[in-house]
A and B are shown apart, each in its own frame.
Chain A
Amino acid sequence: MAVDALQINENYTEKYGFHDASEYAAEAKRGLTPEIVREISERKGEPAWMTEFRLKSLGYYNARPMPPWGADLSGIEFANIYYYLKPSEKKATSWDDVPDAIKQTFDRLGIPEAERKFLAGVSAQYESEVVYHSIRKDLEEKGVIFTDTDTALREHEDIFKQYWATVIPANDNKFASLNSAVWSGGSFIWVPPGVHIEIPLQAYFRINVENMGQFERTLIICEPGSYVHYVEGCTAPTYRSDSLHSAVVEIIVKEGARCRYTTIQNWSNNVYNLVTKRAQAFRDATMEWVDCNLGSKVTMKYPAIYLMEPGAKGETLSVAFAGPGQHQDAGAKMVHVAPHTSSQIISKSISKAGGRTSYRGHLAVAKGADNVSANVSCDALLIDDQSRSDTYPYMDIEAEKVAISHEATVSKVGEEQLFYLQSRGLSAAEATTMIVNGFIEPIVKELPMEYAVEMNRLIALEMEGSVG
């Protein structure tokens, strides 16, 4: 997500909620059948094994009932969704080659400018396909692969096949199965041993058409001793009827490597956002999820880290914001497979004007995984009496020698805090904004500077008019 895009987020409908004409949607079919799945695979010119993988996944998807827990998903009209839309015939590596209407969209969102300013590589996905892709020459020369996932399947099938669906199998859960059947786009990153990518790689995801289903698939492999920071952002137009975003993200962090994955999710309030994210961290590796959920109608997302070998470290920092009509059911999973592993989950949620946030966490320590330390801390802040927050922490500890702490708090923006700040000349809205920004500060300070500034600005905008 780009700096300038966020700066102009004074009003979602005006600033992000616009949409382009979309002739390509006219002849597309809605709904999901084996024929549509075959057609997607055919149009992409995929090898037979991928076509079979997709069809098998469709079977898993159809066989599995909707999850009986979590947020209310009864509003999704699966038969009305476009499962695949191709907006442009080719992928560009220069913004000049991106079709005008699409380029204008990304211009308005500030992506090309952000790329020039502070990014090492950019991917821009529009509907089902990545329409623009670039990576800095020096990284390419070091052997870094940063491309869209479809291209990776064509050009790097050997690496691709070795890791594909190994972290999140096709039958993992209903929405992972759906993604596996109809996936398109997403990022593929391979960082060679010892290579540190010091500035972030970024992907920007945009839904344009009403009732679109976006199913990108991301696979990141960090070879031993490498480092990458990947940032993704997403927005969509505001429509009356709903769209569906269901991504799968798989990450493998090998010995001594470190991966940080930052999400600033700002979908419009008619998008169901149901995402499966999971990483495996091996010996002395570090995996970090920084997960900010501001938008969407419903989000269900619990980034997971499997700590596979001794010395592995996992950290998830998450912020959720829920306004009117929004339900953020977010959290984290930590699975300590090996002894001498450590993890930390810090979750902060803010609910306003009837919004609902849920923290859902799972902490598991396998039998024999001794000398594990794990900390979970989740804090919820309620702006008013209409809003709601729930905590669902699950723990599954089968080892003996473990150090585990869990803290959870729910608080309201306090009258005393508001009065204190107001008595120093701050308006009620400024005081609320300051309290909320302070509340999420421990996580925002982990964001790259450009995003941190904009995150605070977004909160300020959300708080406007929220207090008398």
Chain B
Amino acid sequence: MAENTLIIDDLHVNVAGREILKGLDLEVKQGEIHALLGPNGSGKSTLAYTIAGHPKYEVTQGRILWQGEDVLAMSPDERAKRGLFLAFQYPTAIPGVQMVNFLRLAVKNVFGDVPAVEFRRRVRATMAELKMDDSFATRYLNEGFSGGEKKRAEILQMAMLRPKLAILDETDSGLDIDAIKVVSDGINRLKNPEMGILIVTHYNRFLNSIRPDKVHILVDGQIARSGGQELAEELDRVGYDALLKTA
């Protein structure tokens, strides 16, 4: 199955010996936008990290398939090369490594070598779209970046790596209204019928600018409810407790 579909089947994940995901099922078809909402501690970030392959997250049961293949058998870099991308909630700083040098190597690993001139042109154009100053290119990766700068830098990486499935982990958190607009505009520009998106978020407001096809509510390690955009709107109105009681 070459189609860019992600299938998660009965996924159980432990973190430091404690079970966080307890039998999660989810399917994101090619080109679909899914939103995953849920209260703190429900396992949203755990799912994001597990799909990307963080070694701290131990899968005890279930499977993840991407393009029909077993993701759990792949190293994190192999997953990136297959088109999976995670925009981090808290991207870590790599002192002394210039953004542009890092991007160059990442792009080279995922797509093969790109001519330097073409590469630079793309970086500059994308930074301009994200309202990032040129000096960003030579700053050290995430070092001393403000919250908003970090999130933009994540979207810049996403734009350069053009993933087939992007997972956005709380990309809206800690951003003011203007920054959210810049980031969501950036995502909307990247959106295409070949690329799936899984948005992990606390709040509905991000979903007003990026309209998801499907909305899921994650509670205690399982999907408690699924629906369309109206589910997110209802959640916004009544809150988790009331919403889940009506389930």
Instruction: Indicate if A435 sits at the interface (CB-CB under 8 A).
Output: yes
Q: Would you give the 0/1 interface string for A348-392, flagging 1 where the beta carbon is closer than 8 Å to chain B? A: 000000000000000000000000000000000000000000000
Contact residues of A: prevailing secondary structure: helix
Contact residues of B: prevailing secondary structure: mixed
B53 contacts which of A423, A424, A426, A439 (Cβ < 8 Å)?
A423
Q: When the two chains form their complex, are residues B92 and A420 in contact, meaning their CB atoms are under 8 A apart?
A: yes
Give the interface segment out of B11-19, B94-102, B229-237.
Answer: B94-102
Q: When the two chains form their complex, are residues B95 and A420 in contact, meaning their CB atoms are under 8 A apart?
A: no
Residue of A nearest to B111 (CB): A425
Instruction: Indicate if B52 sits at the interface (CB-CB under 8 A).
Output: yes
Q: When the two chains form their complex, are residues B56 and A417 in contact, meaning their CB atoms are under 8 A apart?
A: no
Instruction: Indicate if B55 sits at the interface (CB-CB under 8 A).
Output: yes
Q: Which residues of A from 425 to 468 have beta carbons under 8 Å from B?
A: 425-428, 430, 434-435, 437-442
Instruction: Indicate if A324 sits at the interface (CB-CB under 8 A).
Output: no
Instruction: Indicate if B75 sits at the interface (CB-CB under 8 A).
Output: yes
Q: Would you give the 0/1 interface string for B48-90, flagging 1 where the beta carbon is closer than 8 Å to chain A? A: 0000111110000000000000000001110111000110100
A424 contacts which of B95, B96, B140, B161 (Cβ < 8 Å)?
B161
Q: When the two chains form their complex, are residues B97 and A422 in contact, meaning their CB atoms are under 8 A apart?
A: no
Q: Given A415-B56, A419-B54, A420-B91, does the pair A427, B96 have CB atoms closer than 8 Å?
A: no
Q: When the two chains form their complex, are residues A434 and B105 in contact, meaning their CB atoms are under 8 A apart?
A: yes
Instruction: Indicate if B40 sits at the interface (CB-CB under 8 A).
Output: no
Q: When the two chains form their complex, are residues A425 and B92 in contact, meaning their CB atoms are under 8 A apart?
A: no
Instruction: Indicate if A421 sits at the interface (CB-CB under 8 A).
Output: yes
| Centre residue among A415, A437, A438 by max chain B CB count within 10 A | A438
Instruction: Indicate if A45 sits at the interface (CB-CB under 8 A).
Output: no
Give the A-B pair count, Cβ closer than 8 A.
Answer: 78
Q: Which residues of B from 80 to 134 have beta carbons under 8 Å from A?
A: 80-81, 85-86, 88, 91-92, 94-97, 102, 105-106, 109-110
Residue of B nearest to A379 (CB): B95
Instruction: Indicate if A416 sits at the interface (CB-CB under 8 A).
Output: yes
Q: Which residues of B contact A169 (CB under 8 A)?
A: none
Q: Given A415-B55, A420-B91, does the pair A425, B77 have CB atoms closer than 8 Å?
A: yes
Residue of B nearest to A436 (CB): B96
Q: When the two chains form their complex, are residues A420 and B88 in contact, meaning their CB atoms are under 8 A apart?
A: yes
Q: When the two chains form their complex, are residues B140 and A425 in contact, meaning their CB atoms are under 8 A apart?
A: no
Q: Given A420-B92, A423-B76, does the pair A438, B97 have CB atoms closer than 8 Å?
A: yes
10 contacts between A and B (CB under 8 A): A417-B94, A420-B88, A420-B91, A422-B53, A428-B75, A430-B109, A434-B102, A435-B97, A438-B96, A441-B97
